[in-house]
Chains A and B, each alone.
Chain A
Amino acid sequence: MQHLLEVKDLQTTFFTPNGEVKAVGGVSFNLDQGKVLGIVGESGSGKSVTAYSIMQILTHPGRIVGGSVKLSGQELVGISEDEMRKVRGNRISIIFQDPMTSLNPVFTIGNQLMEVITLHTNRDEDQAKERAIEMLRLVGINEPEKRIHQYAYELSGGMRQRVMIAMALACEPDILIADEPTTALDVTIQAQILELMMDLQKKLGMAIIMITHDLGVIANMCDEVIVMYAGRVCERGTAPEIFYNPRHEYTRGLLRSIPNIDNDEKTRLIPISGTPVDLLNLPTGCPFAPRCDRAMKVCLNELPVEYWVAKDHIASCWVNVLENVGAPLSALGGQDAATGVEGEEAAK
């Protein structure tokens, strides 16, 4: 079956004066129509760079150095900028964390909304304006006829994010990438925006890639989850698998370290020790090994292979490979899921 988006072994490197930073070091995943995929990780884990690589909006010294991104079968890596512009905002849209800096302060909201519409469709200005008003109404902004003449500074944070969503969805994209869409917002406004996104997802049927560091947002919205650390995928699987059956020590650590609001007794949190990894000096083995309590010799020396925990659950952690499979390491070659296809068939 063809997936809507197929990302295979995507690699993005930033060529900085201090050395090469492998921000994304081989990420693979598939996204199907109408699904919500969550990418969770800490700052510097490469989750945003993964999204920017898919959209090809990387800033200078960053470059895609390998892998492929296929949108309904069409390869995006290596196509011309002109062709990519037809995809951006039209078939794949993105909304950013900070709605203040991602809206242009010198143009009205209507102006910016109409730009997307006239660029990607045959609508003339009047029709574009109509569509802009319709989109603003869809995202729950009252009096849209007045609002289109306003500027970004006249709106609150939550309203601006609604405008961003309206802009991203104006051309009915197949995929909406949301890069920390609620991190800059208050909890009650976050609840509004998440509700709106889920509502629109049901109405319009697009797929969403939700990038966040908040496991709560992931649990509430996502069908599938990718956990990233130091530019690599630690684990990917359905949301219940990741939350109730984590098979990577990093995922386990992450889930343990968040305070549980339903716990009434005074307990200590269990943090992940150490400091975040330095991407300029990545360790040879598993990037998480220096912070892992259960790291073994093999973790420090060799990158873990991906293996299938269940039909819809992949992890790459030596500790869990040995714990669960119990097979000698050499026997794992056949279950290597790094390339995706063979592994998928093997699991079936």
Chain B
Amino acid sequence: MSEMNAFQPDPQYLVQVRDLKQYFPISTGFVQTTMLKAVDGVSFDIKKGETLGLVGESGCGKTTVGRSMLHLYKPTSGEVWFGGRKIEKGTVMADFRKKAQLVFQDPYSSLNPRMTVGDIVAEPIDVHKLCANKKERSERIQSLLSVVGLSSEHATRYAHEFSGGQRQRIGIARALASNPEFIVCDEPVSALDVSIQAQVLNMLEDLQSQLGLTYLFIAHDLSVVKHISDRIAVMYLGHMVELASSNELHHHALHPYTISLLSAIPAPDPIKAKQQKRIVLGGDIPSPLHAPSGCPFRTRCSRCTERCAQEMPEFLEVAPNHFVACHNL
């Protein structure tokens, strides 16, 4: 951690996150507050044009990582570097707000029911004053709607007139309005039906290749994440436990949590399903308010030893570009 202070951004990466921590004060008694460590020291890099998948179960902090790296929350500590500049305040921050956008999970609650679709999509344009006049603004709205496969007449309608898949397209059009370079997709397809999910995933891939976008793709569905990501990071209870390329993670997962997560996915194939060796994890995810000492996963781990209870395992590169945090590999 000593080289932290002298951190030099690497130009091959668009986004670099170092030791990001996000704690929330939770009142646990009359005058007592406890810190909920939603994200507890996460570091990762994303190359330009790359998709990094972030998976984990509910409560593991994956959404918080996305939000606090965008500075929607003020991070408790840690650094976010974007395009070689540290995100803190002032013009760098203002520029970052334009260049980094977010697509939300729930297409029903993330669109204002009182605004027309045109106004929703144009919100970033208005906020950042990107269009000089009304004509330019409406042309921009139409081109954004056509990019996401909606027609220009949809601009005057309201969000409730659209289906889930179409609403998610509106949300994506809004994210694209300020010409971003980086988009955090926070579970963009988990509220959608499978047939629509594939439409949206294909569109995200097309947009990435057309516009050179970089994604942080947050989801709990490993088969979706594997499909869209170049590399995948696995989180558990606020910590990153494994990070590797998609194929490497699928075939040579090392962390016991990743292995059981992979084995828990029911294969959509009756023959494979019968052969599947399932490692069913006992128990529930501990509350982040009372995280276990040492390794966060030890309470559900089959390889747990005494050392796991005492020492937090370091996040080490055990094979080229394959990082794992586990004492007992």
Contacts and interface: CB of A to CB of B under 8 A. Distances in A.
Interface residues of B, number: 44
B241 to A, nearest CB: 13
A257 B266 contact: no
Interface string A215-230: 1111110000000000
A255 B268 contact: yes
A258 B198 CA distance: 7
B194 A215 contact: yes
Given A187-B264, A219-B268, A275 B166 contact: yes
Q: Taking chain B's interface residues, is the majority helix, strand, or loop, or is none over half, making it mixed?
A: helix
B195 A259 contact: no
A105 interface: no
A261 B193 contact: no
Contacts, number: 128
Contacts of A264: 247, 250
Interface string A252-290: 011101111111100011111101100000000000000
A259 B271 contact: no
A232 to B, nearest CB: 16
Interface residues of A, number: 45
Nearest to B227: A259
Contacts of B43: none
A272 B202 CA distance: 11
Contacts of A43: 164, 193
A188 B163 contact: no
B284 A269 contact: no
B227 A190 contact: no
Nearest to B287: A156
A271 B268 contact: no
A258 B221 CA distance: 11
Interface stretch (A5-13, A65-73, A191-199, A324-332): A191-199
Given A268-B205, A272-B198, A195 B278 contact: yes
A295 interface: no
A259 B223 contact: yes
15 contacts: A186-B57, A188-B261, A192-B280, A216-B268, A219-B266, A219-B269, A220-B267, A220-B273, A253-B195, A254-B195, A257-B197, A261-B223, A268-B202, A269-B201, A272-B196
